[in-house]
Amino acid sequence: DAMVIQNPRYQVTQFGKPVTLSCSQTLNHNVMYWYQQKSSQAPKLLFHYYDKDFNNEADTPDNFQSRRPNTSFCFLDIRSPGLGDAAMYLCATSAHPVPPGYTFGSGTRLTVV
Amino acid sequence: AQRVTQPEKLLSVFKGAPVELKCNYSYSGSPELFWYVQYSRQRLQLLLRHISRESIKGFTADLNKGETSFHLKKPFAQEEDSAMYYCALMLRGQGGSEKLVFGKGTKLTVNP
């Protein structure tokens, strides 16, 4: 099935130790998004790639970076995770300007110890 | 400010009862609104969007610009409707960029 795949499903990292979360898609969608979702809160957009163009949200901390080496893959790098970065990280894709609607991955739950 | 408000964190109904999940939005332009659903242990998935005026799994949602609302309704709830429901607003920027802003979600429980 064409889909959005996030690895790993669960990630435990040490405080301050860089960590990378990955997302891949077989949908050939041109837009890829990273959302952060903390418990009982709305998913919050961190940044997105429109093709190769990176769009950062104004309130996304510098600690969060992203890479998109090709259409299929997108990575979320957290340079120095803090306890407050523990959350579910959701990757989503869309095919702009085809009718809107995101396809989400299953998410990666990050724990910082 | 552009925002989506879902006033109910939890909603519990009995099977066969009508259900309405509330969503209000704040947006200066012409809104594009969506409902997403997340069943237990599954990924977030699109349920319906207002531009399609569709009914999915018996759910409908009507955009009311006067009340700035996009409430999700179903006349007869089923146990399998138990899930987390998110209302979302599409924001379109210059250059064709777009992004979804989500409400905090409502957890619907349908009791037998």
Residue B86 is part of a domain; what is its CATH number? 2.60.40.10
The answer to whether the beta carbons of residues A65 and A74 sit under 8 Å apart is: no
Question: How would residue B96 be classed by pLDDT, with cut points 50, 70 and 90?
Answer: low
Residue A99 has pLDDT above 90, yes or no: no
Q: What is the CATH number of domain A4-112?
A: 2.60.40.10
Residue B33 has pLDDT above 80, yes or no: yes
Residue whose token pair is 């996009």: B70
- For residue B98, which residues of chain A lie inside 8 Å, CB to CB? 31, 94, 96, 100
Q: Verify whether the Cβ–Cβ distance A43 to B46 is below 8 Å.
A: no
Mean pLDDT taken over chain B: 91
Tokens of A58: 């104004």
Size of interface A-B (CB pairs under 8 A): 51
Closest CB to B43 among A40, A97, A105? A105
Nearest to A47 by CA among A63, A37, A30, A32: A32
The structural domain count of chain B equals 1
Say what the pLDDT of residue A98 is.
Answer: 61
Residue A74 has pLDDT above 70, yes or no: yes
| Shortest Cα distance, chain A CAs vs residue B79, angstroms | 22
The pLDDT tens digits of the residues spanning B42-57 come to 899 999 988 777 888 9
| Shortest Cα distance, chain A CAs vs residue B6, angstroms | 10
Over residues B29-43, the mean pLDDT reads 90
Q: Verify whether the Cβ–Cβ distance B104 to A90 is below 8 Å.
A: no
Tokens of B43: 């990924």
The answer to whether the beta carbons of residues B67 and B75 sit under 8 Å apart is: no
Residue A110 has pLDDT above 70, yes or no: yes
Say what the pLDDT of residue A52 is.
Answer: 92
3-state secondary structure of A28: coil
Residue A71 has pLDDT above 90, yes or no: yes
Say what the pLDDT of residue B110 is.
Answer: 97
Residue-range domain boundaries for chain A: 4-112
Domain with B87 in it: 3-111
**Chain A residues contacting B via beta carbons under 8 Å:** 4, 31, 33, 40-45, 48, 50, 55, 90, 92, 94, 96-97, 99-102, 104-107
Residue A85 has pLDDT above 90, yes or no: yes
Question: How would residue A101 be classed by pLDDT, with cut points 50, 70 and 90?
Answer: confident
| Shortest Cα distance, chain B CAs vs residue A15, angstroms | 27
Say what the pLDDT of residue A62 is.
Answer: 94
- For residue A41, which residues of chain B lie inside 8 Å, CB to CB? 104
Question: How would residue B61 be classed by pLDDT, with cut points 50, 70 and 90?
Answer: very high
**CA B95 to centroid of chain Cα atoms:** 27
The percentage of chain A sitting over the pLDDT mark of 90, rounded to a whole number, equals 81
DSSP character for B44?
-
Over residues B19-31, the mean pLDDT reads 93
Residue B94 has pLDDT above 80, yes or no: no
